[in-house]
Amino acid sequence: MNKNYSLNDLKPGEKGIVSSLLSTGSIRRRLLDMGLIENTVVECVGKSPAGDPAAFLIRGAVIALRSEDSQNILIRGRDALWG
Domain boundaries, the chain: 4-82
Residue ranges of the chain whose pLDDT lies below 70: 1-2, 78-83
SS3 for the chain is: CCCEEEHHHCCCCCEEEEEEECCCHHHHHHHHHCCCCCCCEEEEEEECCCCCCEEEEECCEEEEECHHHHCCEEEECCHHHHC
CATH 2.30.30.90 assigned to 4-82: yes
Please tell me whether the overall predicted TM-score, pTM, comes out greater than 0.75 for this model. yes
The answer to whether the bond into 49 is cis (omega within 30° of 0) is no
Q: What is the pLDDT of residue 52?
A: 86
Q: Which amino acid is at 37?
A: I
Q: What is the pLDDT of residue 77?
A: 74
